[in-house]
């Protein structure tokens, strides 16, 4: 039973560290929106290039 509690704490700590890392890359909600928009534009551009080749 003690191992399950330790394992749960490790998962919690890992999740916290991952969350902080992700959120530090985008300081605000607007930053997240800009990142998502940039990713969408990149995907659109790639799709346009592929369709042009066809």
Cα 45 to its chain centre, rounded Å, is 21
Q: Please report the pLDDT score of residue 2 as a whole number.
A: 56
Domain ranges within the chain, ordered by starting residue? 2-53
pLDDT per residue as tens digits for the range 2-53:
555 666 778 888 898 888 877 776 566 677 788 889 999 999 999 988 888 8
User: Is 0.95 topped by the overall pTM?
Assistant: no
For residues 23 and 14, is the Cβ–Cβ distance under 8 A? Answer: no
């Amino acid at each position: 039973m003690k191992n399950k509690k330790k394992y749960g704490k490790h998962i919690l700590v890992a999740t916290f560290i991952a969350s902080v890392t992700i959120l530090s890359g985008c300081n605000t909600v607007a930053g997240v929106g800009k990142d998502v928009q940039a990713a969408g534009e990149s995907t659109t551009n790639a799709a346009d290039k592929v369709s042009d080749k066809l």
